[in-house]
C-alpha cells in the first residue's frame, strides 16, 4: 500500500478536526436543550472535567478552555499552557504513562507539548520552555481519561439539572400540576412526567386508591416537595394531598374565597375521611361551620361528591384545646374531654369520655376518626367509656352534652286518633281550675239538699243557659242528684281527669306511633257502665268549662258548642 503524501495527511487531519468540532457542538447543544441548562453552563462543566482529567493523568500545568462558534456550529478545545520543546526533545520525549502503541503516545504528546518549529510559525518570538496556546483534539486523549471525563461530565450535568429543577419547582410546592403517567413500579409507585419533560415520582403511600390511573393518561397531582439528594426524580408528588381540599372548598365556598372564613388546618385519609378546621376571620360575623355545610348540607356534599364520596367533617377551631378536641371527634358525641398528665409524651394528653354506644363512631373505621382528630389537634388521645373513667378515678362531667345539629332534619310526626279529636276544637281553659274548685266547694255546702230527678226540660234549659254569657251562676241542684254525683266522684277515680290530666304531656308527646295505642277488648255491659259514669261526670265539669285563648293556637274554636255531647252520650 503506497504511503500518503504529506499534503494528503494534512488535509485528512483538518477534516477530522472539523468533524470533531461539529460533533462536540451538537453534543453540547443537545445536552443543554434536553436538560434545560444554559449552553455556556454545559460548556463550563465539560471544560472543568477535561481539566481534571488532563491535570490528573497527563499534565498538572495544563489549562483547557472551550470556545464556541455558533456561526459555523463548531466548538474549539484549547490548551493555554502547552510546553514548547525543541524538535529533538519532542521526538525523544518519554512518558511514564503506559499506552498500547506508539501511536497512542504520539497522540497524547499533542495534548500538552508543541515543537518549537511549529510554535514559531504562529509566534516567531517564542522560545523553548515557553507556554503556548494551541488547539487540541479531544479524540487524541487516552481512553482512560475520556471515560473519566464522560463520567464526571454526566454526573455534574445531572447535579446542575437538579439544581435548575429545584430552583424552578421549589416555589411551586403545594400547587396542582398536570403530569403524564409513564410507568408503574413493582411497589405500586409511579413515575410521571410534567408538561416540560421534568420527571416526578409518585410514592405508593401518596396514591389515592379511588383514582383510576392508566399508562399515558394525564392526572392532576400536587407537588409535595423537592429533594435534590434523590438519585432519581427530585420532584415528589401526590394524588391525595390535603391541598385538594383547600382548592375545592375555595371554589365551592365564596366566603373562603372572600377571606371571611379561614381554613386553619386539614387532615386527610384520601378516599375515606377528611377533617377541616375552620374559623371566621376577625372582620367576619358569620358562622364558619354553618356557611361551609350549606342549606341541608348542599355545599359540603358538592365537595364530597367531587372527591368520590369522601366524608368531610367541618371542625370549629378553638383556642381552648379541650374544646377543640371535642369538636375534632365529630361525628362522635363526646361526654367530656379531660386533660391527663403523661410526662413521656411530647404532645398534650387528653382523656376523651364517650358512651359505650358511641365508642365505635369515635374510633372510626380502622381507627381513622380518632387518628385524624389526634393529628388535627396535635394531641395524644385516650378513649374511655364513663364506666372505665370512673374505675380509673378520672373526674369528668357526668352528663352528655350534644351539639346542636348543623341543619335541622325534616320530620313529620304521625298523628294519633287522640289528636284528631282536638283538631276542630277551640277551648279556653283559663279559669278551668278555679271553676272546678268552686264546683267542689258548692258540692260540700249543699250536702243536705234533697235529690231531685233530672228532667229532659232541665237539659234544654241548661243548653240555653250555657250558650248565654249572661248566666252568672250554675244551678247544680236543678240538674243533678248531688248524692249520686258525690258517690261517683268518690268511687270512680278512673275518670277523675281534673286532677290527673297533664296537658303538657298531651300536647308535647306528639310522636306516639299509632300501633302503640291499643285497647283490650271489653264487654258491652262494662263499656256502657263506663260511658254512663263518664257522661255524668263530664256533664258536670263541662258546665263551667270556659274557652282559653292560650289554646286557640292549637286549633281550638272559641265558639265551642257542647250541646252535642248530650246526644252522643245518650246513644
Q: Which three cell numbers stand for residue 260?
A: 371571611
Which cell is 248 given? 375545592
Cα separations in angstroms, 478 against 394, 461, 463, 482, 485: 72, 10, 13, 10, 13
Would the CA dihedral through 528, 529, 530, 534 be positive or negative? positive
User: Whole-model pTM?
Assistant: 0.52
What does the DSSP 8-state code read for residue 60? Answer: T
b/e sequence 105-136, b meaning 16+ C-beta within 10 Å: bebbbbbbbbbbeebeeeeeebeeeeebebeb
The answer for residues whose C-beta is within 8 angstroms of residue 479's C-beta and 6 or more apart is: 454, 458, 462, 543
Cell of 12: 485528512
CB 545 within 8 Å of CB 562: yes
Select from 245, 282, 556, 242 the least CA-distant residue to 425.
Answer: 556
CB-based contacts of 265: which residues, under 8 Å, 6+ apart? 276, 277, 317, 376
Angle at 136 between CA 135 and CA 142, to 5 degrees: 170
pLDDT at residue 103 in the model: 66
> How many other CB atoms are there within 10 angstroms of residue 63's CB atom?
16
Residue 226, SS3? strand
* CA dihedral for 371, 376, 379, 384, sign (positive or negative): negative
Which H or E element spans position 351? strand 349-353
- Dig out the grid coordinates for 235 from the structure: 420532584
Residues 6 or more apart in contact with residue 569 via CB below 8 angstroms: 531, 532, 534, 535, 538, 539
Which single residue is written with the C-alpha cell 259514669?
533
- The alpha carbon of residue 303 and the mean position of all alpha carbons in its chain are separated, in whole angstroms, by 10
Instruction: Give dist(CA 342, CA 344) in Å, integer.
Output: 6
Task: Please state, in angstroms and rounded to a whole number, the distance separating the CA atoms of residues 55 and 152.
Answer: 14
Which DSSP symbol is given to 244? H
Report the alpha-carbon distance of residue 162 to residue 168 in Å, rounded. Answer: 10
Locate the domains of the chain by residue range: 14-151, 173-238, 332-400, 417-570
pLDDT in tens, 287-314: 999 999 988 888 999 888 888 788 999 9
Q: Which residue has the cell 413515575?
A: 191
Provide the CATH topology of domain 173-238: OB fold (Dihydrolipoamide Acetyltransferase, E2P) (2.40.50)
**Topology given in CATH for the domain delimited by 332-400:** GMP Synthetase; Chain A, domain 3 (3.30.300)
pLDDT, one tens digit for every residue, the chain (571 residues): 333 333 333 334 444 567 789 999 999 999 998 888 889 999 999 999 999 999 998 889 999 999 999 999 999 999 999 999 998 888 888 765 555 556 677 888 888 899 999 999 999 999 999 999 999 988 888 888 889 999 999 999 988 988 989 999 999 998 899 999 999 998 989 999 998 889 999 999 888 877 778 889 999 899 999 998 888 889 999 988 888 888 889 888 999 988 899 999 999 888 889 999 999 988 778 899 999 998 888 899 988 888 878 899 999 999 999 999 999 999 999 999 999 887 667 889 999 999 988 999 999 989 999 999 999 999 999 999 999 888 888 888 864 444 444 445 555 555 555 555 455 555 555 555 566 667 666 666 655 454 444 444 555 445 454 444 444 344 444 444 444 444 444 444 444 444 444 444 444 444 444 444 444 444 445 555 555 555 555 455 445 444 444 434 333 444 444 444 444 444 4
CB 200 within 8 A of CB 235: yes
According to DSSP, residue 132 is labeled: E
Which pairs with CB-CB distance under 8 Å and at least 24 residues apart come from 433-437?
A: 435/544, 435/545, 435/546, 436/498, 436/541, 436/544
Give the per-residue pLDDT at 340. Answer: 87
* Residues 6 or more apart in contact with residue 370 via CB below 8 angstroms: 329, 352, 362, 363, 364, 381, 383
C-alpha cell at 386: 364513663
Distances (CA, A) of 556 to 196, 506, 541, 548: 78, 15, 18, 9
Judge contact between 58 and 112, C-beta under 8 A: yes
Q: Give the three-class secondary structure for 61.
A: coil
Residue 193 burial (10 A CB sphere; 0-12, 13-18, 19+): middle
Q: Hey, what's the cell of 245?
A: 381540599
For residue 532, the model assigns a pLDDT of: 56
Amino acid at each position: 500500500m503506497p504511503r500518503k503524501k504529506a499534503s494528503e495527511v494534512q488535509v485528512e487531519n483538518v477534516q477530522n478536526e472539523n468533524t470533531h468540532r461539529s460533533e462536540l457542538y451538537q453534543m453540547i447543544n443537545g445536552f443543554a436543550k434536553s436538560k434545560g441548562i444554559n449552553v455556556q453552563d454545559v460548556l463550563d462543566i465539560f471544560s472543568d472535567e477535561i481539566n481534571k482529567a488532563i491535570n490528573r493523568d497527563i499534565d498538572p500545568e495544563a489549562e483547557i478552555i472551550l470556545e464556541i462558534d455558533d456561526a459555523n456550529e463548531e466548538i474549539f478545545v484549547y490548551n493555554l499552557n502547552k510546553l514548547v520543546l525543541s524538535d529533538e526533545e519532542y521526538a525523544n520525549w518519554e512518558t511514564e504513562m503506559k499506552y498500547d502503541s506508539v501511536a497512542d503516545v504520539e497522540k497524547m504528546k499533542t495534548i500538552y507539548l508543541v515543537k518549537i518549529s511549529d510554535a514559531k510559525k504562529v509566534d516567531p518570538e517564542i522560545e523553548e520552555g515557553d507556554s503556548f496556546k494551541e488547539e487540541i483534539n479531544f479524540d487524541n486523549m487516552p481512553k482512560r481519561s475520556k471515560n473519566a471525563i464522560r463520567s464526571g461530565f454526566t454526573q455534574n450535568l445531572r447535579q446542575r439539572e437538579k439544581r435548575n429543577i429545584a430552583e424552578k419547582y421549589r416555589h411551586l410546592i403545594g400547587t396542582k400540576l398536570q403530569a403524564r403517567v409513564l410507568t408503574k413500579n413493582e411497589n405500586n409507585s409511579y413515575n410521571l412526567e410534567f408538561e416540560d419533560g421534568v420527571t416526578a415520582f409518585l410514592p405508593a403511600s401518596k396514591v389515592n386508591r379511588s383514582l383510576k390511573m392508566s399508562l399515558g393518561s394525564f392526572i392532576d397531582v400536587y407537588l409535595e416537595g423537592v429533594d435534590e439528594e434523590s438519585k432519581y426524580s427530585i420532584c415528589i408528588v401526590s394524588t391525595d394531598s390535603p391541598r385538594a381540599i383547600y382548592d375545592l372548598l375555595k371554589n365551592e365556598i365564596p366566603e373562603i374565597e372572600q377571606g371571611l372564613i379561614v381554613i386553619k388546618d386539614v387532615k386527610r385519609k384520601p378516599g375515606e375521611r377528611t377533617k377541616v378546621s375552620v374559623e371566621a376571620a376577625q372582620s367576619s360575623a358569620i358562622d364558619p361551620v354553618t356557611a361551609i355545610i350549606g342549606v341541608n348540607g348542599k355545599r359540603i356534599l358538592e365537595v364530597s361528591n367531587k372527591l368520590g364520596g369522601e366524608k368531610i367533617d367541618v371542625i370549629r377551631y378553638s383556642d381552648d384545646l379541650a374544646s377543640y378536641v371535642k369538636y375534632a371527634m365529630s361525628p362522635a358525641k363526646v361526654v367530656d374531654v379531660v386533660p391527663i398528665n403523661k410526662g413521656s409524651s411530647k404532645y398534650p394528653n387528653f382523656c376523651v369520655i364517650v358512651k359505650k354506644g358511641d365508642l365505635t363512631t369515635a374510633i372510626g373505621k380502622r381507627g381513622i376518626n380518632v387518628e385524624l382528630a389526634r393529628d388535627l389537634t396535635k394531641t395524644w388521645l385516650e378513649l374511655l367509656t364513663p364506666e372505665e373513667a370512673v374505675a380509673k378515678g378520672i373526674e369528668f362531667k357526668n352528663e352528655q352534652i350534644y351539639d346542636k345539629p348543623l341543619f335541622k332534619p325534616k320530620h313529620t310526626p304521625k298523628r294519633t286518633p287522640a289528636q284528631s279529636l282536638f283538631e276542630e276544637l277551640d277551648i279556653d281553659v283559663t279559669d278551668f281550675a278555679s271553676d272546678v274548685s268552686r264546683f267542689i266547694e258548692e258540692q260540700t255546702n249543699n250536702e243536705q239538699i234533697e235529690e231531685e230527678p233530672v228532667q229532659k226540660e232541665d237539659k234544654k234549659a241548661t243548653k240555653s243557659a250555657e250558650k248565654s254569657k249572661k248566666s252568672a251562676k250554675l244551678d247544680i241542684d236543678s240538674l243533678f242528684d248531688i248524692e249520686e254525683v258525690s258517690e261517683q266522684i268518690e268511687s270512680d277515680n278512673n275518670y277523675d281527669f281534673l286532677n290527673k290530666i297533664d296537658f303538657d304531656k298531651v300536647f308535647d308527646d306528639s310522636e306516639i306511633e299509632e300501633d302503640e295505642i291499643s285497647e283490650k277488648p271489653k264487654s258491652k255491659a262494662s263499656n256502657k257502665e263506663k260511658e254512663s259514669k263518664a257522661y255524668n261526670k263530664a256533664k258536670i265539669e263541662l258546665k263551667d268549662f270556659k274557652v282559653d285563648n292560650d289554646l286557640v293556637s292549637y286549633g281550638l274554636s272559641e265558639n265551642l258548642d257542647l250541646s252535642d255531647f248530650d246526644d252522643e252520650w245518650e246513644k
